[in-house]
Amino acid sequence: MPLHTQLTRRGFLKTTVASAGALTFANVFPSSVLGANDRINFAVIGVGGMGTGHLNQLMENRETDNLRVVAVCDVYQRRVNKARQICGGEGYLDYRSVLDRDDIDAVLIATPDHWHSKISIDAMESGKHVYVEKPMTHTIEQALELREAVKRTGKVLQVGPNYTSQDMYWKANEVITSGRVGKVTWAQGSYNRNVRGCAFNKWFLVDENAGPYANTKSDDYIDWDMWLGHKWGLAPKIPWNPEHFFRFRKYFQYNGGVATDLLYHILAPLLIAIVGPDGEYPHRVNASGGLYLFKDGRDIPDVFTMTVDYPSEFSVNLTSILTNDTQQPNRICGQYGTIEFESNKPVLTGNGDFVDEFKTKNNGYTQVTIPTEDHGNEQVALKRNFMEVIRKGGRLFCNVDLGTATMVAIKMGVESYRQSKTMVWDKDKEQVAG
């Protein structure tokens, strides 16, 4: 039986958790738990490179995961037509037409960042569950609004930073919680690339024939005003600019550059490891770097580093550069020992004068490798986890609380770089201080 039929018949309660302000939502069960045999009807909104990748994965696993893709949407007609050929579903230029359908259970959102929040909220308010690509939103304010919408509607929302599905970070949390490496005070990670001409150019080609002036029935048509979202205050209204449309990751109007595109993947799993599935909001963020090589009119830096200080008394240093692909390995440092992540397993090693304490906590060993489960392809695992929680309840790999905490820190890093100042989080007002 299709999932939407079950939802309609059982009267899925949108406001079950609206008054549960003191609860965390990592392990909350949907207000109507569904059977494992219920088929999930998907729509994919945004079918550019990432969206098409997600669509192909859904189609490849449709029998195993008991799903159908019944609709696709994009403001670019060529993408809509190609996506329809992949899935056989209906195609739309306006996402609101997707949300008007009552036979869709879940939407996967892979639009540019500045649209993530609005479509996610609109989708949940129309009764759909949401899988939204990272970064969860474009701004801190949007992240807080989306967090409250999840709690208000009771819908399942999964955010898609890849490494949150890797078991080694969840096992690292068990290690840290049990005190096996002592008090954690420092962590680091990076996500670097080195592509001739820059990945944000080479991997995102401009179609010179496409645009808003093409015939609305042709493959070349792009609804530029809808893409900008200026009617809803999502981005400034500007004349057609193919560079902005096809390479939006280079411009702060729509994106936070390497911070939101790459470092979101790193910070979210590190927070899972250090503090658990809901993450933690930062205390203070400093960022630096610059645009040193790719001076092609972009806003974003090609060298970016940020340090986040947390109220639980630890700091995380994150680096992302587009000029060299040597990685700064993900590492978590406690007083007794260090956690390295090798071959998808946490490796614990005693450190300094505290090796004896480490040995006491680790059965006499000075180095320990923690066994993990292999969840396979991270994106497939994230989607399967999403569907599992829709059907049965349980724990999301990246719930809205972790998504918001990560977004706040990453966006503070972007603004620290842009404004050349330290950013401090006011936890009582839930906003950047001053």
The token duo for 11 is: 């009267």
363 secondary structure, DSSP code: T
Alpha carbon separation from 296 to 197, 243, 276, 288, 292 (Å, rounded) = 10, 11, 41, 20, 11
Helical (H) or strand (E) element with 271: helix 264-275
What is the distance between the alpha carbons of residues 92 and 95, in angstroms, rounded to a whole number?
Answer: 7
Cis peptide before 212 (omega within 30 of 0): no
Which residues have C-beta within 8 Å of that of residue 338, sequence separation ≥ 6?
181, 331, 332, 348, 349, 351
The alpha carbon torsion through 200, 201, 204, 206 (nearest 10 deg) reads 140
Considering the entire predicted model, what is its pTM?
0.91
Cα–Cα nearest to 277, from 158, 137, 135, 107: 158
The one-letter amino acid at 309: D
DSSP string, 120-133: HHHHHHTT-EEEEP
Q: Radius of gyration over alpha carbons of the chain, in Å?
A: 22
Question: At 409, is the secondary structure helix, strand, or coil?
Answer: helix
Structural domains of the chain, with CATH: 3-161 (3.40.50.720)
Burial annotation 201-214 (CB, 10 A radius, 16+ → b, else e)? beebeeeeebbbee
Neighbours of 14 (CB within 10 A): 15
pLDDT in tens, 44-82: 999 999 999 999 999 999 999 999 999 999 999 999 999
CA 243 to chain centre: 24
Q: Are 315 and 334 in contact (CB under 8 A)?
A: no
Give the β-pairing of 157-159 and 184-190. Answer: unpaired
Identify the pLDDT of residue 6: 37
Identify the pLDDT of residue 144: 98
Q: Are 424 and 434 in contact (CB under 8 A)?
A: yes
What is the distance between the alpha carbons of residues 338 and 274, in angstroms, rounded to a whole number?
Answer: 12
pLDDT < 50: residue spans in the chain? 1-35
Which residues have C-beta within 8 Å of that of residue 48, sequence separation ≥ 6?
74, 76, 79, 110
Identify the pLDDT of residue 37: 60
Give the β-pairing of 184-190 and 314-321. Answer: parallel
Q: Quick one: 152 exposed, middle or buried, by C-beta within 10 A (0-12, 13-18, 19+)?
A: middle
